[in-house]
Amino acid sequence: MASSVASQKSKRAAVRKALDRHKVYITAQRFSAGSYSARVLVDGEAYWVDEFRLSQLQQGLSPAELELTPATDD
């Protein structure tokens, strides 16, 4: 019985973590000279990022943690 309670707590913690993660929306993509960049929207702010930074954002890191500056091309 105790393991069932621990299992439920673990599942709830995983759901809470997923819900707390920033939502990342890709609004534009560029492919130029073999490089990729994407314009993403995170918490209402737009950023241009490369493929590596995009994957970090999708894994849950915040733009502040990655020291990103907002896009100025609006």
Domain count, the chain: 1
Q: What is the pTM of this model?
A: 0.69
17 inside domain: no
pLDDT (average), residues 9-30: 83
| 14: in domain | no
Any domain includes 6: no
The answer to whether position 10 is within a domain reads: no
71 found inside a domain: yes
61 belongs to a structural domain = yes
Q: Which domain holds residue 44?
A: 22-74
Q: Each residue of 52-74: pLDDT tens digit? A: 999 999 888 899 999 999 998 65
DSSP, residue by residue, 21-35:
SPPEEEEEEEEETTE
